[in-house]
A and B are shown apart, each in its own frame.
Chain A
Amino acid sequence: MLEENGNGTGKNGKEVGLLERVKAGVKEDVQSLKTDLPAKAKEQVEGLKDPTKTQVYTSIFRHKHDDTPRNRALGVLSNVFLHLHPAKINRDAVRYSFTWGMGGITFFLFLILTYTGVLLMFYYHPTKVQAFRDVLYLEHDVPFGKILRNMHRWAAHLMIIAVWLHMFRVFLTGSYKKPREFNWNVGVILLVLTLLLSFTGYLLPDDQLGFWAVTVGTNMARATPLLGHEGPFGKMLGMTPYNDVRFGLLGGSIVDANALLRSYIWHCIGIPLVAITFMAVHFWRVRKDGGISGPAPVMLESEADKRRT
């Protein structure tokens, strides 16, 4: 561009030669636009016919998708979410009648609860003035607020039922036996955490139902032996309504603003974090203990004591 203006520089041969070369170059450029671009465009379109070969695709998916045993295995192993699974499992372990799928359903419900719970948090203030109104607002004004709240509530109830059924089937299949004793214990902790999650959530709408349920529930804490002011030996240890475990749980001697805040924090942050940690351990141990326990070949009475190791 500058050269073409030719401003300020003398008219000598060199400069003119440059101008010509530039002209020739531009001509070439134009020519290449005419020939190369369509060719490249064609190449591009051809490439799009097989998107799995594009760089973007291969950077995301690290292996081919042809239906070969190797790729089936890699599809599971190289995916962060799926690699909790082994590549292959016992052919009978996929039978619904064995696991009832309840562990997985429990986990899925936990995911739904996290998702709907985060959405609910956008509308909810854990204060005495606002909490109840926020729930009313959700019910009547927030788009899809009602179904959001309903889904969160019913998923919580379902999760409890699913956890119980999961525990029930683990017991009935003897799946807590060696080497899975520890994972059963992790499970028991998860059971308690699930109940606590539900219980802490019950107070949050700040209505009569939650208020009295939590009042009844935490009144029990008064009677804690040693640590409650109405419990055995509590008075002797100097327990009063203002320093016992119940006070610690509620942040006060009655279910009030502090109790609401504490409930909220336990419900939305504290217990979920602990539960996620234990779930990670739980799933990890299922793998490390050799996958799910069965369906295993039946063992005969005569073999019982031989196989103990």
Chain B
Amino acid sequence: MDWRQLWEIVSAPDNVPIVGMIPLLVFYIYLAWKQARANDELVAELETNPALAKTHHRKSWPFRPGWQKEVHVWPFLLRIEFLAAIIVTIILMVWSITLSAPLEEPSNPNLTMNPAKAPWYFLGLQEMLVYFDPWIAGVVMPTLIIIGLMVIPYIDTNPLGSGYYTWKQRKFAIGTFLFGFIVLWVAMIIIGTFIRGPGWQWFWPGQTWDHNRLIYEVNRDLPDLFGITSNLAKGIFGAIVVGGFYLIGGFVVHALFRRYNPKDYRRMSLLQYSIMIFFLLTMVALPAKMLLRLALNIKYVWITPWFNV
């Protein structure tokens, strides 16, 4: 266990935000979960008791007749905002006094940094470079993430859970988002920050960074596994595999979705449904490709003269 190495990584000024973000995330997930559970319990109670449902104020917070439904922004909201501003300022001041922003040597194109890391908030994408070519990890994926986020309101047809925390009413939506945000984004950033060392190699926390370590990975391409040699056949084979992933995957999603989410299924139009399936499968494709690499040392699935997947 190399504590010094660990400390160097954890205390690197630009890594401190991530170290801080993890407990913040845990706290807010807890806060959301607590409220979701309270609301879910309330919903369950009201579902079984229609008479109560008619009269209940329908929030998990107390409310008594005679209480005003609305409060003045001044002072009730503004005082919170001022307080928040002061607290943020204090935190920022203390942080800025105790920890200095990094400044390395002057830039030098002839002296490569190893590892050369992107800013921490992009490390998820850089981590994806291990498994995908730059045109996917660096261009297509960010584009799809942005578009994917943008279509969310238009494909989520579930009218429940608008304006309050819940889990039971929106299991699929929330589960998918958690998978995308926590597993595919935050976890990859954590790996990129704390695990990846020189040569973008895997170093467990506390393992000494060895700048001379070489790993002879013998990666194969999927077509090789099937003994396909001609370029044309490789291209066709890859197209079939990738197409098959979306077709068969789409079918599986369909089978599951209409069984376990019949209401959403009924509400969704064909366009909404196919967009949802496309983005879901594309998300799943990331861990799928990672698995192929880690388990079978597969580099490419689809090889063409123009691009490789």
Contact = CB atoms under 8 A, between A and B. Distances in A.
Q: Do A and B bind each other?
A: yes
Interface of A: 69, 72-73, 75-76, 82, 85-98, 100-101, 104-105, 108-109, 112, 132, 135-136, 139, 146-147, 149-155, 157-158, 160-161, 164-165, 168-169, 171-178, 180-181, 184-185, 188, 191-192, 195, 198-199, 202, 205-213, 215-217, 219-225, 228, 230-233, 236, 254-255, 293-302, 304-305, 307-308
The secondary structure that dominates the B interface is: helix
Interface stretch (B85-93, B254-262, B272-280, B285-293): B85-93
Contacts of A224: 135, 139
B152 interface: yes
A78 to B, nearest CB: 11
A31 to B, nearest CB: 52
A212 B112 contact: yes
A132 B134 contact: no
B213 interface: no
A262 to B, nearest CB: 15
Contacts of B14: 157, 209
B22 to A, nearest CB: 10
A283 B129 CA distance: 37
20 contacts: A82-B78, A91-B68, A94-B76, A95-B61, A97-B35, A139-B103, A150-B96, A154-B99, A161-B24, A165-B25, A173-B161, A176-B156, A184-B152, A202-B119, A213-B118, A216-B126, A230-B135, A298-B58, A298-B60, A304-B158
B39 interface: yes
The list of the 6 closest CB pairs from A to B, nearest first, reads A220-B138, A296-B163, A294-B163, A297-B58, A211-B107, A181-B153
Given A92-B59, A213-B117, A231-B135, A172 B122 contact: no
Contacts of B215: none
Interface string B93-111: 1011101111111111101
B92 A158 contact: yes
Given A108-B84, A181-B154, A294-B162, 14 more contacts: A72-B72, A76-B78, A91-B68, A92-B59, A94-B76, A97-B31, A150-B96, A177-B161, A220-B138, A220-B139, A296-B164, A299-B161, A300-B43, A307-B159
A147 B97 contact: yes
Nearest to A151: B96
A89 to B, nearest CB: 6
Given A208-B108, A298-B58, A86 B73 contact: yes
B72 A177 contact: no
A151 B93 CA distance: 7
A89 B71 contact: yes
B70 A91 contact: yes
A202 B35 CA distance: 38
Given A172-B165, A298-B43, A151 B92 contact: yes
Contacts of B166: 174, 298
B307 interface: yes
A171 B99 contact: no
In this complex, the member of A139, A220, A233 whose beta carbon has the largest number of chain B beta carbons within 10 angstroms is A220
A274 B74 CA distance: 30
Interface string B243-258: 0000000000000000
Contacts of B218: none
Contact of A211 (B85, B109, B139, B163): B109
A300 B48 CA distance: 11
B177 interface: yes
Contacts of A232: 135, 306-307
